[in-house]
Amino acid sequence: MTPARALLALSITALLGLSACTRQPSPDDSRPGAPPAAREGETADEFIARVNAEYKALYPELTAAQWLSSTYISDDSQLLSAKANERYLGQLKSWIEQAKKFEGQQMSPETARAIRLLKLSTSMPPPKDPAKLTELTQIATRMEGMYGSGEFCTGEGAARSCRQLGDLEEVLRNNRDYNEQLAAWRGWHTISPPMRKDYTRFVELVNDGAQNLGFADAGEMWRSGYDMSPAEIAAETDRLWTQVKPLYEQLHCYTRTRLQSEYGADKGAAAGGMLPAHLLGNMWQQDWGNIWDILAPYPGAGSLDISTALESQYQQAYAGRIAQSQVPATPAMLVEAEQEARLANAKQMTERAQDFYVSLGMPKLPESYWKNTQFIKPRDRDVVCHASAWDMNMEGDVRTKMCIKPNEEDFTTIYHELGHVYYYLAYNKLPPIFQQGAHDGFHEAIGDTIVLAMTPQYLQSIGLVGEQQQTNEALINAQMRMALAKVSFMPFGLMIDRWRWGVFDGSIKPGEYNKAWWDLKAKYQGVAPVEARGEQFFDAGAKYHVPGNTPYTRYFLSHVLQFQFYKALCDASGFKGPLYECSFYGNKEAGQKFQAMLSKGASQPWQQTLKELTGGEKMDASAVLEYFAPLQTWLKQQNEGRTCGWQANATPAPAASPVAPATGPAAPAAPAKPATPPIAG
């Protein structure tokens, strides 16, 4: 994922999670522990007050089930999660049914907003039929399990070797052998074809639930959560993409030229002048920063090699633990020392990220955070490594879940995840229904705003890079590094939900899932596989947010908003100079303004919240273009005389050989996602 996302991904739009009963509740259910029915004579204001109280009371139990299912993947934990999710969706359905009697009645504006948010508080709307609800949660469990424990295995017997996502990502990150990269990319995409049948049924079930709530389909429901009509938000994303597309096209052209120089004219480009999917250093082509060695404009100028510094810190921690041993180290001791060093290094990286937020006047993370967070991948069990941030009780028990490694991508991801955490802490005083982002793109933009302020000078001040020389070459290098994370992501952030909106509304049929996926990647990203990917594949399922059912437009919007936030905070800090040079680290005035925005949560329309921070009510990408102005000028110069752009309808070559399916034990069941899961980066 991009440095600001691993990410990352799931919405706070309603962490209205889980409970532990399997029976489908109904409003008139009188069994012990059943959800309270609508009360005679209750006003709308009283109803919302009751829902907030009921929600907050059951919340810790719900999040505990989900946390367990993500950090201890087993049949038992997944069963608890699935059943908890099933009961919660029934509870949510009961609340929504009860809310219908208040339609057209007098109520406070706050209550009217809360009722609307309640209706939109799940990305997985529950069907009315209890049997379908059970089926839905079981499918969600199964798909998440396939992803969370997915691995690609080759060989037999003693020669058998299996690699999970992290291992395969390392190949794309560090190995420049064309065929090795292709094998790793192919390998991960073998974990998703078994999901295809389940996903097809999943779409039918969530559409059923959305239609019960009055929406045409689940996609329309997702697009209704932006204080504007579904058509308006779709048009808004098109407008924003139009603003940044010329910059992306220049970056694409430059990248293709460099890849062709590295791998040859034929291998460095796919059909139609598109970029080969397996050569961009990232499994999904959403962040190109891992191929910095190929794309660096001026090697050595203003070196920003964070990964080497972080790896060195880890190696020092490891050597220190070995040195502490009073006896010759055994293999078991070495393994334990390695794990201890990784944990210490991960905590050190997290402490550094915390320091930025604290420098703005925000509180230190509670002690429970350091006790309960999953910092690294355990050695004794399967876990979901996909980075996410958690609010366990709406009262300060916050956590993150990652499998941190000492590299730049994970380092900036920590800053991103802590953005979610500090958002939680800022709005914890609000009623539960309002404890979410102004819209979901806001939640994803908070930590990324901090990442933008991690200027070369800031990185030098914390000892991760050497002294920075103020040269044009160093500036272009710094801008390129940021663009490979931010600009490269934007079309990817747009296309995933374009695919799902089509799947949900039926314009993309089950028999063309894979074709439509690659058609959209070609249209928006100019990226293609180097060989045909027919409908025997389900490549969308190899991206966490599809089986995890996480709406993705938020990530595109966040990549616009973060630059708006950044510019506003730079202005608040009194910074004068080019936008890209601004770091508001340590500035309490900027921190106060940021904190004020965070504290509003979803208590008011996002347009008002945005205006209070930036002075404007519209999302706008002009700050993106202002930030990258030097790079865009440079890219145009580099691309002069070249034929840029790509043919999105070009046909890749037939596959040279069939890809063997992943082998190994069946994937255990995985966590059923709550109606709105914890924030994933």
326 pLDDT higher than 50: yes
The residue-averaged pLDDT of 96-125 equals 91
pLDDT (tens digit per residue) in 422-453: 999 999 999 999 999 999 999 999 999 999 99
The residue-averaged pLDDT of 116-135 equals 90
pLDDT at 661 (0 to 100):
37
d(CA 632, CA 644): 14
366 pLDDT higher than 60: yes
The residue-averaged pLDDT of 49-76 equals 90
Greater pLDDT, 677 or 368: 368
The residue-averaged pLDDT of 558-579 equals 97
Contact status, residue 292 vs residue 484, Cβ threshold 8 Å? yes
126 — pLDDT class (breaks 50, 70, 90): confident
533 pLDDT higher than 90: yes
pLDDT at 196 (0 to 100):
97
674 pLDDT higher than 60: no
8 pLDDT higher than 60: no
676 pLDDT higher than 50: no
Contact status, residue 391 vs residue 424, Cβ threshold 8 Å? yes
pLDDT at 643 (0 to 100):
94
Alpha-carbon distances, residue 301 vs 109, 251, 393, 464, 580 (angstroms): 56, 20, 47, 15, 17
Residue 52 has a CB neighbour count (10 Å cut-off) of: 18
Greater pLDDT, 77 or 348: 348
The lowest-confidence range among 48-52, 601-605, 667-671 is 667-671
The pair of structure tokens assigned to 549 is: 């059912």
The lowest-confidence range among 29-33, 82-86, 260-264, 617-621 is 29-33
The residue-averaged pLDDT of 97-124 equals 91
d(CA 680, CA 388): 4
Greater pLDDT, 547 or 658: 547
d(CA 433, CA 431): 6
pLDDT at 669 (0 to 100):
32
The lowest-confidence range among 389-403, 461-475, 502-516, 558-572 is 461-475
pLDDT at 2 (0 to 100):
32
Q: Do β-strands 679-680 and 388-391 pair in parallel, antiparallel, or remain unpaired? A: antiparallel
* Residue in the structure block whose two tokens are 């609010």: 391
H-only helix segments in 462-587: 472-486, 490-505, 513-520, 553-572
Residue 634 has a CB neighbour count (10 Å cut-off) of: 19
The pair of structure tokens assigned to 89 is: 């969706």
pLDDT at 61 (0 to 100):
85
pLDDT (tens digit per residue) in 219-240: 999 999 999 999 999 999 999 9
Q: Write out the DSSP string of 158-225.
A: GG-EEEEHHHHHHHHHH---HHHHHHHHHHHTTSSGGGHHHHHHHHHHHHHHHHHTT-SSHHHHHHTS
In a 3-state reduction of DSSP, which class is residue 237? helix
pLDDT at 36 (0 to 100):
53
pLDDT at 660 (0 to 100):
40
Contact status, residue 360 vs residue 594, Cβ threshold 8 Å? yes
Average pLDDT taken over every residue of the chain = 88
pLDDT at 480 (0 to 100):
96
pTM of the model: 0.87
32 — pLDDT class (breaks 50, 70, 90): very low
pLDDT at 169 (0 to 100):
95
For 259-295, the three-class secondary structure string (H helix, E strand, C coil) is HHHHHCCCCCCCHHHCEEHHHCCCCCCCCCHHHHHHH
pLDDT at 665 (0 to 100):
32
The pair of structure tokens assigned to 353 is: 């990220």
Greater pLDDT, 646 or 36: 646
The residue-averaged pLDDT of 586-590 equals 97
Q: What percent of the chain has a predicted confidence (pLDDT) above 90?
A: 72
117 pLDDT higher than 60: yes
9 pLDDT higher than 70: no
The residue-averaged pLDDT of 456-461 equals 92
Q: Please state the φ and ψ torsions of residue 389, each to the nearest 5 degrees.
A: -120, 140
26 — pLDDT class (breaks 50, 70, 90): very low
Q: What percent of the chain has a predicted confidence (pLDDT) above 70?
A: 90
pLDDT at 655 (0 to 100):
58
pLDDT at 74 (0 to 100):
87
The pair of structure tokens assigned to 242 is: 């139009």
539 pLDDT higher than 70: yes
96 pLDDT higher than 60: yes
Bridge partners (DSSP) of residue 388 are 401, 680
Contact status, residue 209 vs residue 134, Cβ threshold 8 Å? no
Bridge partners (DSSP) of residue 390 are 399
Catalytic residues: 386-387, 416-417, 420, 444, 545, 555
Contact status, residue 443 vs residue 436, Cβ threshold 8 Å? yes
The lowest-confidence range among 30-44, 258-272, 532-546, 631-645 is 30-44
Identify the DSSP state of 652: P
Residue of 30, 34, 40, 172 whose CA lies nearest to 90: 34
Can you say whether the dihedral through the CA atoms of 428, 377, 372, 60 is positive or negative?
positive
Bridge partners (DSSP) of residue 679 are 389
Q: Write out the DSSP string of 319-346.
A: HHHHHH-SSPPPHHHHHHHHHHHHHHHH
pLDDT at 333 (0 to 100):
87
